[in-house]
Structure 1
Amino acid sequence: MSHPTSSRSSVSSSPTRASATEETTTLLPPTTNSHNHAHSHPHPHTPVHPHARKTSISARSVSGRSVAGSVRNYGAVSGRPGPSEQAPRVSKVGQRRILTTFPLQATFFILTLLTFAAFALSLILLLNTVFDFSVKILPYRGSGFTEFWISLIGAWIGLGGVLFFSHPSYLFFLTTLITLILHIPILFLTLLTPSLKRSHTPLIIIPLVLTVSTLIFTLLSNGLVRRAKKKESLRITRMLTDAAGRERANEEATARALVGVQGKGFWSRLLGFFGGVIGLIAGLAGMILVTLLLIDLSISAYDGSLPLPASYSKLVKTQPTSSQWPIEIHLACTPLSNTSSSPSLPTIVYTSSSGVPGSLALLPTPIPPANENAENPGRWLFDLQEQGKVGRVCTWDRPGYGFSDILTNADMGGISDSLWQALDNSGVIEESKKRGLLMVGEGYGGLIMRIFASKHPEHIHSFLHLDAQTASTYFNDISTTRYISYITTRLFQSIITPISLNRFTSILLRKSTSLSRIIASSYPLPSTSRLNENLRKSRLQELIGSQSKSSKSFRELLESSYKFPSTKPTIILSSEDRMNNNENWKQGQRILAEEITSEEGLLDWIKIKNSNHFVCESQEGKQICEDSIRKLLKQ
């Protein structure tokens, strides 16, 4: 009579004594067979065998119901949650467990640290393109724009790796791997090509090492998380299918599907989808940018093999006091003529306008894409020399222009010192000591010429100002809004030059040559300054470092006025059209003629009609320029 009571006691106590096998098998979905379902709930007065529940559970089948439909409210036993409640809890615990292991924690910490360092370096290099932070241990002579992009690529991809650390994407892994591989030829190009090595090393090594390290740890974290998730998935699968696997061979596939459905809810799948898309975009952006950088560096390496534009051109090593390291200046001086009158004539030194390399004057015809009827600024002086009407003629590329290296800053004192050292180290000063130098300054070159003359007045023969800039026209305290506008527009245009959007396009359309990319110029039109990042950097330096009245250049120009040889023979040529259209320019030309130049030194002030800023281009203007040179040579 005590057997029923014993049986009920056995049943009621079975949940607390259920084995691991029983607990695992309760996660499997129930059968849809009506016969088994009818027997799954015994009559309360019917005696129940102690092992009847276990046998009932293990005999369940999922063949008649889809996995997605079987995960909710099945397999629940009184006092015990069903599989839809247990499996997600197991998955979340497993997720927390695999992401808190020491290898993944260490990888995440290092990746975060590298990403932060890459962003910090990107900001420093961006500021360095405007305000130079040069130090002696990093004697680079390039623009710094390429280094900025390399660092930014590492920061961008590293950020993607950090944000989607727990949701790794195969596409992000693939694009990051390709980006890493593309950095290898960049390293070899910059180390093995002489022109690139001089411009970029050793500065480029820092962002390269940092970016490569970031990419490696991004790949490592991606692989480690995917591997850990796979191992955790297999562990859960084995736990769910261990007991039933001995009885039903197809139960393992069902359990795998069950884990997939329960482990990834709607929000998890949505987050995984967006993580994959954003990861793909981040990886593709990095891959495209590094490809464009590689193309641009390849073009630069090819252009760097171009010889100097004239047989008498030379690169002269100089180091102004404002520079942290020596730079090479391109100087081109025609050889002394064999005629008896040549040594007795002063040497003409031409300094070009802003945005125009002096070496452009060496070319008899304009280079593509300039119009065929355009005139290269300063060319008329070399035409006179070839005709034997003048003595030696010299032109030069200011730092950052043409074939010259970039100076660490753009103060006019340092630029004028570069010219003096180039002339002195090449022997021109010694050879012209008898008659001196006839200084020809056009536009911005007029300011450089004045500071040069103030430092070396005993070597000056005379001056020819060609619509030259003055302190009142060049130095302005502009409003903050306008200043920011200048910075944003010119800075953006400058920093995009290394990603080959302009140079590669011009090559494909056959609108530029190696020479036109090196001797890039804002004039003659159309401007090609966008093809040379060094020229962009120099013009940016001129804008930021020189145009303010609080700049070092302005102070140097003021100080030079006390030593300026104002009594030397001087002719001033001004554009009448520009003076009529700009009252400030008119006032500046008047100050140059009546205040900076003494009454004793002023030979003539000619206002040329129908001329633009380059007054010697028109037929009438060219004749006036040539006559002015002849008049000064007679002094």
Structure 2
Amino acid sequence: MTSLWRHSKDGPDRAEQSTQREDDENASLQEPTERTRLLQPEPDQGFLSPDDPAVSPYNLWSVRALRGLSLVALALSFVWWTFLLVSIFVSPPLMHPRGSGFFAFSYTTLATGYLVLGLLFFSVPSKPVTIWSCVISLFLLVNMIIILAVPRIRLEEGWVGIASVVWATVIALYQIIQNRAVAWGKREEETRLTGREETRRSLREWLVVLVQMVVLVIMTLATTLFTATLTLRSGDASLEPTGNRYSVHGDIYQVHLACVGNRTENPHEPTILLEGDYGPVEHTLQPFINDAYQHGAIGRYCYWDRPGIGWSDNAPSPHSAGMAVDVLSEALALAGETGPWVVVSAGIGSLYSRLFASRHLLEVSGIFLIDPLHEAYLDDVGKPNRGFVLWLRGILSPLGLDRLAGALVRGRSREDRVIGRSAYQSGKFIKAKLQENLVAVTMTAAEVQSARHIQMGETPVIVVSSGQEMQKDPRWAERQEDLSHITNKLLSWDIVHDAPHEVWTDTEGRQVLEKRLRDILEESQRNGFKFASGES
């Protein structure tokens, strides 16, 4: 009787155990969910230690998927970063911005660094990271609004710059989501596997948080400076050019050209065509020429900004002096300006004016060189270490440290930053000088050598040299003399002994220059230069 009762009692227990085993087997065959354990605990094992490697947010499929998405984003960002780096030296098709392109490179560098930081410390989320990421996202959002809202900046940055700042903003927002998601996953797994949320941090985790904080503070400072620099640029963009901008090179970019004075009925009266030295012509040679115009020494003159300088856009890379001269010719044609021309230039601008003269033989009636740069010095212009310094300055230019200091401390105006003494600080100017450096000893040197062979022999030439420069370097004196023989008709070679390289800044130098300007204009008209008919 007792055995029968015990048998009937054990029967249901075994049935329940069998049913439980079947449920466990069915559960193990089902698709894993967010709460599915990757490492199943042993029976009756209980909670794990908080330091157990199994306690990890990587147990969740969503967290691992998020990390995979970060890896894909990093790969895309690195490819885009590489393209932008290459485009500084050689512009790929359809990727040329009218500005320098350094802002786009900086935004992409920021996004790439942000992704690397997030992946390196993926499993150590923290609230300070979320807070600083929110601040960076806010500044990047303001950057994006400025670029899109200011027409001139939007035009200079182009689709490349817009895409880069949007990408950086999206990545900053994504990092907030990633940090919060990993923190949630970490909390969920700790609660499930250890019975409570772990609030302690190991020394390693505190060091990780410290490194994250330092890097994010640097990124925040960078985005703050980007915003301030863009604000300055938005103010500078409101400065209207004195002349007009003309779309050149297949409407890829624009250059600035201005002419002062009325045309006369005398078709043989030449127009002065200015070519500036190192900086914008408006800050160097144009004020002196304008004074000569006001005094009646000349009747009409035109001047322009080489690509990347003043009001002109940057040209695609590579860009040589000969390419710049072709662009000037195109701009003059679009403006309806014709010769005869007397080209007046100083310093490195003399190489450009000589190229222009060799490509417009029947239109150039005189060449006036003010302490010109000889082509032998192109080796100095094209030095690799100079190119590296220019590249580094360009990479740092979006921070605007010197421009902001000039505006806040020294009171520099927008005229100073666009066409004045501070123009050399802009990314556009640095990019133009880097382009000049990259091709100085190759393309530009070959173009100038060809120009010397082609130059018309009867074109009158005047050279005015700086006595100070000749005293510093005996080779400078020899090469100044050599430039006085680029044609067979030297009108004058004057040496202003106390004048610096910018001869027009010296009182005696200004007097000599004005006198020689009258001489070359009179010589041009006396010869009855007929560029249209091809007679000389």
Q: Residue 90 of structure 2 aligns to a residue in which SS? A: coil
Distance 1:534 1:332 in 2: 20
Is 1:178–2:135 an aligned residue pair? yes
Distance 2:51 2:365 in 1: 91
Distance 2:303 2:184 in 1: 65
Q: Which residue of 2 aligns with 1:303?
A: 236
The Cα shift of 1:146 comes to 0.7
Distance 2:394 2:351 in 1: 24
Q: Which residue of 2 aligns with 1:441?
A: 345
1:171-209 deviation line (CA, Å, top 9, x unaligned): 112211221232222222222211101100111133234
Q: Residue 462 of structure 1 aligns to a residue in which SS? A: strand
8 A contact 2:308–2:428 mirrored in 1? yes
Q: Which residue of 1 aligns with 2:32?
A: none
Gaps of 5+ in 2: 1-42, 524-536
Q: Which residue of 2 aligns with 1:223?
A: 180
Q: Which residue of 1 aligns with 2:459?
A: 568
Q: Which residue of 1 aligns with 2:252?
A: 326
Distance 2:285 2:356 in 1: 21
The Cα shift of 1:306 comes to 1.4
8 A contact 1:438–1:461 mirrored in 2? yes
1:494-532 deviation line (CA, Å, top 9, x unaligned): 3222112122222222420011111144xxxxxx24532
The Cα shift of 1:169 comes to 1.5
The Cα shift of 1:117 comes to 3.3
Q: Residue 461 of structure 1 aligns to which amino acid in structure 2?
A: S
Q: Which residue of 2 aligns with 1:72?
A: none
User: Which of 179, 188, 194 is 2:151 aligned to?
Assistant: 194
8 A contact 1:118–1:207 mirrored in 2? no
Q: Residue 494 of structure 2 aligns to a residue in which SS? A: strand
* 1:543/1:608 CA distance change after superposition, 3 Å: same
Is 1:107–2:31 an aligned residue pair? no
Q: Which residue of 2 aligns with 1:76?
A: none
Count of residue pairs the alignment pairs up: 480
Q: Which residue of 2 aligns with 1:626?
A: 514
Distance 1:627 1:333 in 2: 22
8 A contact 1:490–1:540 mirrored in 2? yes
The Cα shift of 1:211 comes to 2.2
8 A contact 1:346–1:633 mirrored in 2? yes
8 A contact 2:59–2:189 mirrored in 1? no
- Superposition map of 1:236-635 within 5 A: 236=193, 238=195, 256=196, 260=198, 269-308=202-241, 310=242, 313-319=243-249, 325-336=251-262, 344-354=268-278, 356-360=279-283, 376-409=284-317, 410-429=319-338, 432=339, 436-476=340-380, 483=384, 485-521=385-421, 528-546=422-440, 548=441, 551-594=442-485, 596-598=486-488, 601-635=489-523
Q: Residue 438 of structure 1 aligns to which amino acid in structure 2?
A: V
Q: Residue 330 of structure 1 aligns to which amino acid in structure 2?
A: H
Q: Which residue of 2 aligns with 1:241?
A: none
* 1:593/1:510 CA distance change after superposition, 3 Å: closer
8 A contact 2:274–2:303 mirrored in 1? yes
Distance 1:209 1:100 in 2: 32
Distance 1:554 1:177 in 2: 51
Distance 1:295 1:494 in 2: 17
Quick check: 601-610 or 489-498, which moved more? Answer: 489-498
The Cα shift of 1:590 comes to 2.3
Q: Residue 345 of structure 1 aligns to a residue in which SS? A: coil
The Cα shift of 1:89 comes to 7.3
Q: Which residue of 1 aligns with 2:20?
A: none
Q: Residue 285 of structure 1 aligns to a residue in which SS? A: helix
1:349-397 deviation line (CA, Å, top 9, x unaligned): 110112x21223xxxxxxxxxxxxxxx4332221121222321111111
Percent pairwise identity: 22
Quick check: 497-506 or 621-630, which moved more? Answer: 497-506
- Alignment RMSD (CA, Å): 2.5
Q: Residue 284 of structure 1 aligns to which amino acid in structure 2?
A: V
Distance 2:112 2:287 in 1: 47
Distance 2:337 2:45 in 1: 96
Q: Which residue of 2 aligns with 1:368?
A: none
Distance 2:381 2:244 in 1: 39
Q: Residue 512 of structure 1 aligns to a residue in which SS? A: coil
Q: Residue 562 of structure 1 aligns to a residue in which SS? A: helix
1:52-102 deviation line (CA, Å, top 9, x unaligned): xxxxxxxxxxxxxxxxxxxxxxxxxxxx9999xx7427842232xx30432
TM-score (norm 2): 0.84
Is 1:125–2:19 an aligned residue pair? no
1:210-253 deviation line (CA, Å, top 9, x unaligned): 32343243222211211111112222454xxxxxxxxxxxxxxx
Q: Which residue of 1 aligns with 2:171?
A: 214
Q: Which residue of 2 aligns with 1:64?
A: none
Distance 2:505 2:102 in 1: 35
1:275-312 deviation line (CA, Å, top 9, x unaligned): 1111112222222211211221121112101122x4xx
Distance 2:78 2:71 in 1: 11
1:101-153 deviation line (CA, Å, top 9, x unaligned): 32222211221232243344334433433x13242x23410011111111111
1:437-463 deviation line (CA, Å, top 9, x unaligned): 011111111100111111111101111
* 1:413/1:487 CA distance change after superposition, 3 Å: closer
Q: Residue 382 of structure 1 aligns to which amino acid in structure 2?
A: N
1:305-351 deviation line (CA, Å, top 9, x unaligned): 1122x4xx2222222xxxx753221111113167x77x652100110
User: Which of 193, 204, 228 is 2:161 aligned to?
Assistant: 204
8 A contact 1:377–1:617 mirrored in 2? no
Q: Residue 424 of structure 1 aligns to which amino acid in structure 2?
A: A
Q: Residue 387 of structure 1 aligns to which amino acid in structure 2?
A: H
Q: Which residue of 2 aligns with 1:366?
A: none
Distance 2:423 2:125 in 1: 43
Q: Residue 416 of structure 1 aligns to which amino acid in structure 2?
A: V
Q: Residue 552 of structure 1 aligns to which amino acid in structure 2?
A: M
Q: Residue 291 of structure 1 aligns to which amino acid in structure 2?
A: T
Distance 2:398 2:457 in 1: 44
Distance 2:51 2:426 in 1: 60
Gaps of 5+ in 1: 1-79, 239-255, 361-375, 522-527
Q: Residue 475 of structure 1 aligns to which amino acid in structure 2?
A: D
Distance 1:286 1:178 in 2: 10
Q: Residue 239 of structure 2 aligns to which amino acid in structure 1?
A: L
8 A contact 2:257–2:305 mirrored in 1? yes
Distance 1:101 1:531 in 2: 51
8 A contact 1:114–1:210 mirrored in 2? no
Q: Residue 544 of structure 1 aligns to which amino acid in structure 2?
A: L
8 A contact 2:465–2:494 mirrored in 1? yes
Q: Residue 232 of structure 2 aligns to which amino acid in structure 1?
A: I
User: Which of 84, 94, 113 is 2:55 aligned to?
Assistant: 94
Distance 1:380 1:503 in 2: 27
Distance 2:454 2:52 in 1: 83
8 A contact 1:472–1:584 mirrored in 2? no
8 A contact 1:571–1:628 mirrored in 2? yes
